[in-house]
Structure 1
Amino acid sequence: MLYNLHVKNLALIKEQEIEFSKGLNILTGETGAGKSVVIGSVNLALGGKADPSLIRTGEEYALVELTFGELEDIQKELLAGMDIPLEDDGTLVIQRKIMPGRSVSKVSGESVSARQLKDIGNILINIHGQNDHQELLQKKKHMEILDGYCDKDLSGLFGALSEDYKTMKDLEKELSESDIDESARIREQELLEFEIGEIEDAAVVPGEDKDLESLYHKMVNSRKISEAVYAVSSMISSGEGEETASDMVGRAVRELTSVVSYDEALNDLLSQLSDVENLLSDFGHSLSGYMKDLEFDDETFHNTEERLNTLNHLKDKYGGSLEAVLKYRDEKQLRLDALTDLDAHRNRLVKELDEIRSKVLLTCKNISDIRRKGAKALAKELKEALIDLNFLDVQFEIDVRSNEENVTAKGFDDVEFMISTNPGEALRPLDQIASGGELSRIMLALKTVVADKDDISTLIFDEIDAGISGKTAWKVSGKLGELSKEHQIICITHLPQIAAMADEHFMIEKGLSDGRTVTGIHSLNEEDSIKELARLLGGDKLTDAVLSNAKEMRQMAIEKKRG
């Protein structure tokens, strides 16, 4: 669940902290008080678009921080799979700092990307915005909802279908490309023979270019190397008339040897000095061998340069590395073999394509069968939920239509929600029937049904009550209360029927601080909550009658929740 929301310097909010509770958290306030900023700040923290204009005027940055706790085991497993650590107390802290031109996001102190934030958000919370119900008018959303409902049965099939579908499309493309006339075949064959021959004539060996580049670099700089090496050699062991390092160390050994018999403590020093003498001797031999190999004739240099030019030409032309060049040759050899006997190649492709298409269609049928079974179950649950939301005589079906000629990586089905809200009316597509208020209730019904199947414990509703009132508002209020028994609900509303159902009631209002407008958010006690209900009921003044009505409404809500 979401424990805490901390917002600083965001829009009209100077600094606010909200401690959410379990159950139903209600946020109310006058129009324009800044209710949407609360949902917006949660979206920002979870990877939403960071607009620098949201930073409070005069401030350098805006900050949003969310603290989650009491996570489900599956949520912990998913987060662990993303290498997202929890705090020692089991909480997860998400922080996003928004600055002009950039934003910085951290989870448990570790920096993360906006993409990672969104993935984490999908694990922890489900947000239903004011316009989300409009997505119900799009058929692709219907497929998404049904597949989500059937997820546990479909997930493995989608993985297999995706792989086979890609293979099928690749074969279709290859078969199409093989449909060429004789003159085009001959031209392509000649080009392939030239390219393959060019690579094979070069006798490419992986890694050869690196060795040659090292050798060429050594040759180009051989003069500088020679001068340095000969200077070192003269210092070590080949001085003419001058005492070298080897001479001096040898003399030092002789001097120490002459006195070692007088003090055993000198034995260790003599041993060390003798090692130095031997090391210098070995170094001298190694240096001498290196000097013999340092001489290059012009022919060796020319051959090395030419070989490098040949290899670099092939890399530029066929892939950037010798490994890529060889891979290109192998791919083109397969294509050349196919062109050499085009009829046999096409026959093989047709056979492989028929086999993979049959496999794809079988998987699509299995997916379709699961969808049809799931559609009946989901439609039944949705109908029951809609009746609870004051759809008195509603008919609801999910139409799953299959078309083997229209296969995609998601199968060959077309899914559409069908509804009738009045007796005697035929079932029709959702976008031809539902009003704004009906769409809001249908979305709430979906959330109620799906919430029992997913592992997300926190749901946010931003004005789910749009377009409803009266008895229907009470029905929606009851459904939210029911949903809040198993989930944490955070709901922005303007309806007193819904606000009356609150387990925790927050007031959002504008005020002045140091001559500037600020949005404030604070928790209401029972008495203040009833006053806010009275305001929502529409009274210009909080008369005894309005307050009495508000108290009665609150009591009705409490009894409804208990029932």
Structure 2
Amino acid sequence: MLWNIHVKNMALIQEVDVELSTGLNILTGETGAGKSIIIGAVNVALGAAGFKGFAREDAEYALVELIFSVENEKIRRRLEELEVPVEDGQVIISRKLAKGRTISKINGETVTVSRIREAAEVLLDIHGQHEHQSLLYRKNHLAIVDEYAKEELEPYAEKNEELYKRWQRQKRELSNMQTDENARAKEADFLRFEIEEIEAAALMEGEDESLEEQYRKMVNGRKIAEAAAEISALLSPDGGASEMTGRAIRSLSAVAELDGEISGLNDQLYDIDSLLNDFNRELSDYVERLSFDEQEFSRVEERLDLINHLKSKYGNAIPEILAYQEERQERLNVLENYEACLAKLQKELAFCETELLRNAGKMSEIRKKYAFDLSVKIKEALEDLNFLDVQFEIMFETLETPGLLGIDDICFMISTNPGSPVKPLNEVASGGELSRIMLALKAVLADKDATETLIFDEIDVGISGRTAQKVSEKMAVLAKRHQVICITHLAQIASMADSHYVIEKKVENQVTFTSIQKLSEKESVEELARILGGAEITPTVLKSAREMKELAAQMKKS
């Protein structure tokens, strides 16, 4: 159940904290007070809407937080399947917008919006102001029946989806195979060329990586050898630095005895000559040890060129090239054994189609069984909602070819006048009638489903008088088995409240904001009087409001 709604910096709301109760929670208020903001904020929290248009531009951040209490074991298991943790019997969902970035969390852990949406489907059901319009579309009728039959239908629905996808895939394969003999011959020749080109390369996995490493070493060795040869030439005794140093020594030795200072320089030059000779010997030894095989380098380079060429045609890595070769070989086998493969595929397609039709037929049986039960319950629920002579049926039509959802096309049929034949819902129902039909559906499906919290945003659109009273009684019955949160503008519905909240728009210091307050019994009667009497609340209106509240209490007890 939804125990708490905390909203901060959303539209006219600066900050509100609503503690909800079990049973029927009613929210009322003047038009424009901000009732829709509350539902809008809940939708934002549950990932059904974004902050755009809600978040206050003058605030640093906007926040919506919902606290759910999870006691139903079935719901707990479904949440665990979605990897949504239930901590201390609670699930806390929050979404925050700050500096243009939205952060979504479940129990303090950052999650994706899709994860929040999945959890929301388990935790509560929201009926928006215009959701009843979805009943005008036949595709939604099938979804409603499937939801009602879900427990028994789901395994067959999953199998149907798998069979249908396989059937479609086999049909495409069969279509691709059905080409003329010349086209098959051309394709086979091309396939052989590709296969032979790959086979001739005799590729081995990991070979390209090994060759690239070897190539890098060879390229570096070549550079080193070239540099060593150049240095050796610059320092060699034949025209290099060593020869020049020898000439310098001979010239300096000739005059060394003429001046004592020159003798010291002569000794240094001898040392330089000795160092150069040592360096030349070590360099010569290094060059002799350094090997560079031009033929091996060419072989590695050519092999890498071949592999890279194949990569450009058949895949970005050797495993991809080999997989491509295997795929092409399978296709070639099919072309070379065309008649046998064609017969096999036709047999597989026929078998798959038979299985698909058999499974879809079983789905249809299950749907029809549950549809009959559903139509009876919807008729009873509609009678409870002041449809006096209503007839409601669920019509089935069989599709020519099976689809992802089976072979059924479903249409809700209704008659709201005595003697009138049933017609498609979209040809008969008015806006107010659609709203009540949707409430009837919600009531029936809620009994079937484990969802604990139901939210209705102005379910009372287009109704009044006796019909409004009937709707209020249905809401009260629903609230005995579920937590119901309802925004309404009708006193009949508001009078049934187990917990009554008023939403008000206030102005303080020239700032307009929305507040929410839980009402006492006395305050609830005064709010009913406001709804009944409008601007002027007379003693007579107050008395009527009090009587309405008392009658509602008696009805709930009965």
Alpha-carbon separation, structure 2, partners of 1:218 and 1:441:
81
Aligned to 2:406: 411
Aligned to 1:307: 303
Q: Which has the larger radius of gyration?
A: 2
2:396 aligned residue (400, 418, 422): 400
Alpha-carbon separation, structure 2, partners of 1:555 and 1:295:
107
- Give secondary structure in 2 for the equivalent of 1:22: coil
Whether 1:522 aligns to 2:517 is yes
Question: For residues 354 and 54 of structure 1, do their structure 2 counterparts lie closer, same or farther at Cα, with a shift above 3 Å needed?
Answer: same
Whether 1:501 aligns to 2:496 is yes
| Offset at residue 293 of structure 1 (A) | 11
* CA deviation map 1:142-161 (0-9, x unaligned): 00000011111111112222
Aligned to 2:367: 371
Alpha-carbon separation, structure 2, partners of 1:31 and 1:294:
92
Alpha-carbon separation, structure 2, partners of 1:181 and 1:391:
65
Gaps of 5+ in 2: 226-286
After TM superposition, the structure 1 = structure 2 runs for residues 227-242 of structure 1, keeping only pairs within 5 Å, are none
Question: For residues 131 and 294 of structure 1, do their structure 2 counterparts lie closer, same or farther at Cα, with a shift above 3 Å needed?
Answer: farther
* CA deviation map 1:200-241 (0-9, x unaligned): 222222333333333334444457999xxxxxxxxxxxxxxx
Task: Note if contact 1:420-1:428 (Cα within 8 Å) is conserved in structure 2.
Answer: yes
After TM superposition, the structure 1 = structure 2 runs for residues 310-459 of structure 1, keeping only pairs within 5 Å, are 310-403=306-399, 405-459=400-454
Whether 1:532 aligns to 2:520 is no
* CA deviation map 1:406-436 (0-9, x unaligned): 2112101101111111111111100001111
Alpha-carbon separation, structure 1, partners of 2:218 and 2:508:
76
Aligned to 1:144: 143
Alpha-carbon separation, structure 2, partners of 1:546 and 1:224:
103
Question: For residues 521 and 220 of structure 1, do their structure 2 counterparts lie closer, same or farther at Cα, with a shift above 3 Å needed?
Answer: farther
2:458 aligned residue (448, 459, 463): 463
Question: For residues 422 and 295 of structure 1, do their structure 2 counterparts lie closer, same or farther at Cα, with a shift above 3 Å needed?
Answer: farther
Aligned to 1:55: 55
Aligned to 1:156: 155
- Give secondary structure in 2 for the equivalent of 1:392: coil
Alpha-carbon separation, structure 1, partners of 2:25 and 2:289:
83
- Give secondary structure in 1 for the equivalent of 2:57: coil
* CA deviation map 1:470-514 (0-9, x unaligned): 011111100110000110000000000000000111111111133
Aligned to 1:168: 167
Alpha-carbon separation, structure 2, partners of 1:12 and 1:488:
27
Question: For residues 499 and 222 of structure 1, do their structure 2 counterparts lie closer, same or farther at Cα, with a shift above 3 Å needed?
Answer: farther
| Offset at residue 296 of structure 1 (A) | 5.1
Report the RMSD for the aligned CA atoms in angstroms: 2.1
Counterpart residue identity of residue 372, structure 1: K
Whether 1:547 aligns to 2:542 is yes
Question: For residues 293 and 313 of structure 1, do their structure 2 counterparts lie closer, same or farther at Cα, with a shift above 3 Å needed?
Answer: farther
Percentage of pairs with the same residue: 50
Alpha-carbon separation, structure 2, partners of 1:459 and 1:222:
77
Counterpart residue identity of residue 14, structure 1: Q
Counterpart residue identity of residue 162, structure 1: E
Aligned to 1:269: none
| Offset at residue 163 of structure 1 (A) | 1.6
| Offset at residue 294 of structure 1 (A) | 8.6
* CA deviation map 1:490-543 (0-9, x unaligned): 000000000000011111111113321111111111111111111111332111
* CA deviation map 1:385-414 (0-9, x unaligned): 1111111111111112223x3211210110
After TM superposition, the structure 1 = structure 2 runs for residues 188-267 of structure 1, keeping only pairs within 5 Å, are 188-222=187-221
Task: Note if contact 2:70-2:76 (Cα within 8 Å) is conserved in structure 1.
Answer: no
TM-score between the two structures when normalised by the length of structure 2: 0.86
- Give secondary structure in 1 for the equivalent of 2:402: coil
TM-score between the two structures when normalised by the length of structure 1: 0.85
Aligned to 2:3: 3
Task: Note if contact 1:530-1:551 (Cα within 8 Å) is conserved in structure 2.
Answer: yes
Alpha-carbon separation, structure 2, partners of 1:379 and 1:202:
69
Task: Note if contact 1:52-1:99 (Cα within 8 Å) is conserved in structure 2.
Answer: no
* CA deviation map 1:74-106 (0-9, x unaligned): 22222222332233x221111101235331101
* CA deviation map 1:255-298 (0-9, x unaligned): xxxxxxxxxxxxxxxxxxxxxxxxxxxxxxxxxxxx99995523
Query: In the comparison of the two structures, how many residue pairs are matched?
Result: 498
Alpha-carbon separation, structure 2, partners of 1:97 and 1:383:
44
Task: Note if contact 2:3-2:69 (Cα within 8 Å) is conserved in structure 1.
Answer: yes
Aligned to 1:134: 133
- Give secondary structure in 2 for the equivalent of 1:485: helix
Task: Note if contact 1:496-1:537 (Cα within 8 Å) is conserved in structure 2.
Answer: yes
Aligned to 1:488: 483
| Offset at residue 380 of structure 1 (A) | 0.7
Counterpart residue identity of residue 212, structure 2: E
| Offset at residue 162 of structure 1 (A) | 1.5
Task: Note if contact 1:388-1:479 (Cα within 8 Å) is conserved in structure 2.
Answer: yes
Aligned to 2:12: 12
Alpha-carbon separation, structure 2, partners of 1:296 and 1:367:
75
Question: For residues 191 and 119 of structure 1, do their structure 2 counterparts lie closer, same or farther at Cα, with a shift above 3 Å needed?
Answer: same
Counterpart residue identity of residue 128, structure 1: H
- Give secondary structure in 1 for the equivalent of 2:161: helix
Alpha-carbon separation, structure 2, partners of 1:196 and 1:436:
67
- Give secondary structure in 1 for the equivalent of 2:512: strand
Task: Note if contact 1:371-1:400 (Cα within 8 Å) is conserved in structure 2.
Answer: no
* CA deviation map 1:120-145 (0-9, x unaligned): 11111111101110000111100000
| Offset at residue 340 of structure 1 (A) | 2.0
Question: For residues 337 and 526 of structure 1, do their structure 2 counterparts lie closer, same or farther at Cα, with a shift above 3 Å needed?
Answer: same
Alpha-carbon separation, structure 2, partners of 1:536 and 1:173:
64
Question: For residues 406 and 294 of structure 1, do their structure 2 counterparts lie closer, same or farther at Cα, with a shift above 3 Å needed?
Answer: farther
- Give secondary structure in 2 for the equivalent of 1:26: strand
After TM superposition, the structure 1 = structure 2 runs for residues 96-115 of structure 1, keeping only pairs within 5 Å, are 96-115=95-114
- Give secondary structure in 1 for the equivalent of 2:329: helix
Question: For residues 189 and 389 of structure 1, do their structure 2 counterparts lie closer, same or farther at Cα, with a shift above 3 Å needed?
Answer: same
Alpha-carbon separation, structure 2, partners of 1:553 and 1:351:
71
Question: For residues 293 and 205 of structure 1, do their structure 2 counterparts lie closer, same or farther at Cα, with a shift above 3 Å needed?
Answer: farther
Gaps of 5+ in 1: 227-290
- Give secondary structure in 1 for the equivalent of 2:448: coil
- Give secondary structure in 2 for the equivalent of 1:311: helix
* CA deviation map 1:324-362 (0-9, x unaligned): 222222222121122223333222221111111111110
Task: Note if contact 1:52-1:100 (Cα within 8 Å) is conserved in structure 2.
Answer: no
- Give secondary structure in 1 for the equivalent of 2:481: coil
Aligned to 2:29: 29
Alpha-carbon separation, structure 2, partners of 1:13 and 1:393:
45
Counterpart residue identity of residue 467, structure 2: T
Question: For residues 82 and 293 of structure 1, do their structure 2 counterparts lie closer, same or farther at Cα, with a shift above 3 Å needed?
Answer: farther
* CA deviation map 1:59-79 (0-9, x unaligned): 122100011113321222222
Alpha-carbon separation, structure 1, partners of 2:329 and 2:320:
14
- Give secondary structure in 2 for the equivalent of 1:371: helix
Task: Note if contact 1:8-1:63 (Cα within 8 Å) is conserved in structure 2.
Answer: yes
- Give secondary structure in 1 for the equivalent of 2:456: strand
Whether 1:119 aligns to 2:114 is no
Task: Note if contact 2:222-2:292 (Cα within 8 Å) is conserved in structure 1.
Answer: no
Alpha-carbon separation, structure 2, partners of 1:39 and 1:17:
14
Task: Note if contact 1:52-1:101 (Cα within 8 Å) is conserved in structure 2.
Answer: no
Counterpart residue identity of residue 410, structure 1: L
Alpha-carbon separation, structure 2, partners of 1:561 and 1:304:
90
